[in-house]
Amino acid sequence: MILPGATLGVLGGGQLGRMFTLAAKVMGYQVVVLDPDPQSPAGQLADIHLKADYRDAVALIRMGGLCQAVTTEFENVPAASLETLAKHCLVAPSAAALAVAQDRLQEKTHARDSGCVTAPFANIESAADLAAAWQQIGAPALLKTRRLGYDGKGQARVDSAEGLAAAFKELGEVPCLLEGFLPLEREVSVVLARNAMDEIAFFPLAENQHRNGILDISIVPARIPESLAETARDMAAHLARELDYVGVMAVEFFVLKDGRIVFNEMAPRPHNSGHYTLDATACDQFQQQVRALCGLPLGDPRLLSPVVMVNLLGDVWRDAGITPPPWDELLKHPGVHLHLYGKAEARPGRKMGHYNCLAPSVEEALALALETRAALGIGAE
């Protein structure tokens, strides 16, 4: 067990690293952040901010020497960096678990092998694979790049063999997956933590709504039958065990119109759809990340109140990102909890913060979320 007083590290200084840093500091740890950006949200709060590239061997060795344990806030960390660090301190999740999450083919294959239901999928390495993939999947389908896709980027809907060939070209002929396009009823996610003693704790499922491919709101508890939530938790736990995963991870699922639940993807870190835990569960996902990393018993993930989380993107700032929204309109509601990430520049699509609306029922929390959103000028769908 790594106890308070020790030093922890995080690769990446964005908002996820910032909320990890806050949780660790509250619990009495020192924190080292590695991020090249001198203004990074986590670097602002860390005890030590190493301003260097993620591949910088000197910075990695320094970090490994300072820290008892290091984690990451994003999946695309170079494997070699984790291997360098692992020679000096504990690193979790492992490079192998991150590698799976970096590649949609490996991710879906692992998920299927560990008992998750997935959409039908076919691998496309080059144009030579297009015909066979189309024959296997057929219309309607989605073409997704295997790597570096996020927030709905790097994917295209295709409805014919010709459309598939054009979309593959458009995506740069990089390795892709062709997936069957499923009739979605809603999207949900489960955030879980697993420690090295194989203890697993699940946060309540969130129901997620997106706008332009970016998470917009999370509604908790998700409005789905408990039996489906249980299936989702079982699938997520199998996947975590199969990867021998240590840390916090999120698994996104689709609920189909026929009532089935299907694995979509995993994130090997705390997740935007788990930000509601900062105000609505006994232990939040970042405290849980500290506990899992340090080999501590996991905290209590129990929901204390229905909650709706609203993301705040840079689009809400006026005058080309200079004028912030009217915070007083938000903060006049006692049930609203505001979190801003300390980013100086508001750009369209950039995640600047979020707020959690707590209320006695999920309907009231949703009403508060919609009312406050309108007051900020976010507008309805």
Cα three-residue angle 152-362-229, rounded to 5 degrees: 60
As a whole number of Å, the end-to-end CA separation of the chain is 47
As measured in angstroms, the least distance from the Cβ of 208 to ligand AMP is: 8
Residue 264 vs 287, nearer CB to ligand AMP: 264
Between 253 and 341, CB nearer to ligand AMP: 253
Q: How far is the CB of 194 from ligand AMP (least distance, A)?
A: 22
Minimal distance in Å, beta carbon 182 to ligand AMP?
Answer: 4
| Interface residue list for ligand AMP (CB under 6 A) | 119, 142, 149, 152, 179-182, 184, 187, 210, 213, 264-265
Q: How far is the CB of 251 from ligand AMP (least distance, A)?
A: 11
User: Residue 224 corresponds to which tokens in the numbers above?
Assistant: 């789905």
Closer residue to ligand AMP (CB): 33 or 142? 142
- Least separation in angstroms between CB 121 and ligand AMP: 8
Beta strands of the chain (E only): which ranges? 7-11, 30-34, 48-50, 69-72, 90-91, 121-124, 141-145, 155-158, 176-180, 184-194, 200-202, 206-211, 214-220, 247-256, 261-267, 307-313, 336-340, 351-358
Residue that the structure tokens 């000096």 belong to:
88
User: Which residue, 151 or 345, is less far from ligand AMP as judged by CB?
Assistant: 151
Question: Of 20 and 253, which CB lies nearer to ligand AMP in the complex structure?
Answer: 253
Closest approach of Cβ 180 to ligand AMP, in Å?
A: 6
Tokens of 54: 């993620």
* C-beta separation of 210 from 152 below 8 A: yes
Half-sphere exposure of 338 (CA within 13 A, CB side): 17
Between 33 and 266, CB nearer to ligand AMP = 266
